[in-house]
Structure 1
C-alpha cells in the first residue's frame, strides 16, 4: 500500500492514485524533454489539421504503410517505455476529485515535511513515476515537479499524500 497516494480534503471525491499503472497511460510525458519544450496553446481544429497533414505528407513521401513498418514502430515504442523517464500531469486527477469552491491550498505530504501551494498552481504539476524504465521505489512512489520546471533538479520526493484545503 505504500505505493498508493490519496487525494483528499475538501474534495467531492477522494481519489486513489496508483503510479504503477501509469506506464500504460497515454497521458504520460517524457520528462527528459518535457520542460525543454515550449507549451503552445492552440485550438483543437489546428491540431487535427496538422495531424492529418503530417499523415498525408508521410503517405506521399513514403507510400502506404505496411505491417513491417508498424511492427518496427511498435518495437520502438516498447523500447522507449522500458527505458524512458516519465511523468503524468496532475490536472486530470484534480479535476476528477472536484475540489470544493472554497478550497485554495494544495498540500503535499512527504516524509520530509509538508509543502503548501496555491491550488491553481497545482493544476500544472507533473508527477514523475519512472526513471530510466524503473519505478521510483527508493524515494517515490512519485516525484512532484512544478509546472514551470523550476525544481527539475530537486523535485519533491517521498510523497505520501495530497490534501486540498
Structure 2
C-alpha cells in the first residue's frame, strides 16, 4: 500500500492514485523540458496553415515521402520511457475528485509534514513519478513540483496523501 496515494477530504469522490501506472498515461510530461519551455500563445489556425503549406511545397518539389515505419517510432518511444524523467499534471485528479464548493485548500500529507496549498495553486502542480526511467521508490512514490518550476531542484518528497479542506 506504500505505492498508493490517497485523495480524500471534502471531495465528492475519494480516489486512490497509483503512480506505477502513470507511465502508460498519455498526459505524462517530460520533466527535463517541461519547466524550461516558455508559455507562448499560438494561433492554431495560422500554425496549421503554415505546416500544411510546407508539406504541400515539399511534395510538389520532392514528391511524396512516406512517414517512418511504426517500428522505429515504437522503438524511440520505448527508449524514451526506459530512460526518461516524467511527471503528470495534478489538475485532472483534482477535477475527478470533485472538491466541494466551499473547499479552499489542498493539504499534501508527507511522511514528516503537511503542506497546505490553495486549490487554485494546487491545480498547477505536477506529480513526478519517474526519474531516469526508474520509479521513485526510496522517497516516493511521487514528487510534487509547483507549476512554475520554482522547486524544480528540491521537490516535495515522501508524499503519502492529499486531503482537500
Q: Say yes or no: TM over 0.5.
A: yes
1:29 aligned to 2:26?
Answer: no
Residue 70 of structure 2 is aligned to residue 64 of structure 1: no
Separation in structure 1 between the aligned mates of residue 26 and residue 45 of structure 2, nearest angstrom: 17
Q: Deviations over 1:83-116 (max 9, x none)?
A: 0000000000000110011000110000120001
CA distance in 1, matches of 2:16, 2:72: 36
Match of 2:47 in 1: 50
Match of 1:40 in 2: 40
1:120-159 correspondence runs (5 A): 120-159=120-159
Matches within 5 A, 1:86-125: 86-125=86-125
Q: 1: distance between equivalents of 2:138 and 2:72?
A: 34
TM-score (norm 1): 0.88
Gaps of 5+ in 1: none
- In the TM superposition, residue 15 of structure 1 has moved relative to its aligned partner by 1.4
Take 2:45 and 2:19, find their aligned partners in 1: how far apart are those partners? 30
- For 1:154 and 1:25, the matched residues in 2 are separated by 25
Question: Compared with structure 1, are the counterparts of its residues 116 and 53 closer, same or farther at alpha carbon in structure 2 (3 Å cutoff)?
Answer: same
- In the aligned structure 1, how far is the partner of 2:39 from the partner of 2:126? 14
Q: CA deviation at 1:74?
A: 1.7
Say how many residue pairs are matched.
Answer: 161
Alignment of 1:69-80 (within 5 A): 70-80=70-80
Matching residue of 2:17? 17
